[in-house]
Amino acid sequence: MKTRLAIVLLLATLLPAGAHAAPNGAPAECAAAFARGNEAYAAGRWDEARLSWEKCLDLGVRDRRVYYNLRNAHFRLGETGWAILHYEKALRIDPADADARANLELARSKRADLRPARESDPVFEKLWALHSRLSVPLGLDALLALSFLFGAGLSLAVLFRGRVRHCGAALAAVAFLAAIPVALSTGYKIWADEFDARGVVLESAVDLRSGPSSRDQVLATLHSGTDLEVRSKTGEWFLVRAGDDLEGYLPARSLGLVNEDALR
């Protein structure tokens, strides 16, 4: 498995960035910066490529292709935290991106702050994998299709007799039962996009403190790429939760938000 992930990541980082077209509908300034970034990346000037692609973000462009190229540049520069952050942002746009998910898993394996592995139910793991790959638009489309099937089945059960009625009732029941997990998954994603703030440590090492000040007690030292739950913001500090029982404050500059709108 690790060999497969390494091959996927190697191919992703070696793939010429210029092979990716500029985001559709992007401003001319972004398209020009995107092209400059492709040229710089192909020439091995990773930092110059990063700065060019970040110009698109400064212009308000939020596109999977921008995050795709940025995560490769940051990985080339050895900036694990930034690479993980952009993997996460790309997956928020396209949860079905298998390469991004595999690369994210490998990048996380290189973090200094590794959480101990927990035993989990394989059935739950498969359900969670399906949930992770289901985007909000796809979930809404699936609910619309299931609603149509439910209505069609219910109509058959009401209007006809015999075998047709039984088939209609069965169709309505299956559609209803299938809609429950899809609705729960889609509803959770809509809620998470709005309110669930998560962050990634960007600096190589940063102290987690008991209060929003550099004079407060150090609770732990976190390293680049650590995933955190972000609770609130106080001035230039974020209140975060690391794991199940560790909560404290980090400087805002040391943390990248996966969902930038969640705390607004």
Q: What is the mean pLDDT of residues 198-209?
A: 92
Of 3-7, 26-30, 151-155, which range is least confident?
3-7
Residue that finishes a domain, picked among 142, 168, 195: 195
CATH code assigned at 92: 1.25.40.10
Give this prediction's pTM.
Answer: 0.66
**Same domain membership, residue 72 and residue 128:** no
**Same domain membership, residue 220 and residue 185:** no
Measure the CA–CA gap between 43 and 250, rounded to whole angstroms. Answer: 37
SS3 for 78-129 is: CCHHHHHHHHHHHHHHCCCCHHHHHHHHHHHHCCCCCCCCCCCCHHHHHHHH
Q: Which amino acid is at 41?
A: Y
Phi, psi dihedrals of residue 174, rounded to the nearest 5°: -65, -45
In degrees, to the nearest 5, what angle opens at C-alpha 96 toward C-alphas 93 and 101? 90
**Same domain membership, residue 99 and residue 6:** yes
What's the confidence (pLDDT) of residue 19?
38
Q: For residue 114, is it within any domain?
A: no
**Same domain membership, residue 184 and residue 203:** no
What's the confidence (pLDDT) of residue 10?
43
Of 108-112, 173-177, 197-201, 244-248, which range is least confident?
108-112
Range of the domain at 126: 122-195
Q: For residue 264, is it within any domain?
A: no
**Same domain membership, residue 152 and residue 80:** no
What's the confidence (pLDDT) of residue 165?
92
Q: For residue 16, is it within any domain?
A: yes
Who's near 150: CB < 8 A, 6+ residues apart? Answer: 171, 172, 175, 176, 179
What's the confidence (pLDDT) of residue 14?
42
Residue that finishes a domain, picked among 109, 134, 156: 109
Q: For residue 117, is it within any domain?
A: no
CATH code assigned at 232: 2.30.30.40
**Same domain membership, residue 202 and residue 190:** no
In this prediction, what percent of the chain has a pLDDT beyond 70? 83
What's the confidence (pLDDT) of residue 124?
65
**Same domain membership, residue 87 and residue 137:** no
Measure the CA–CA gap between 46 and 216, rounded to whole angstroms. Answer: 37
Tens of pLDDT, residue by residue over 29-49, are 998 999 999 999 999 999 999
Q: What is the mean pLDDT of residues 15-20?
A: 44
Residue written as token pair 């091995």 = 44
In this prediction, what percent of the chain has a pLDDT beyond 90? 39
What's the confidence (pLDDT) of residue 16?
41
Tens of pLDDT, residue by residue over 101-146, are 777 877 777 776 655 444 456 766 677 677 777 777 888 899 999 9
**Same domain membership, residue 7 and residue 104:** yes
The count of structural domains within the chain is 3
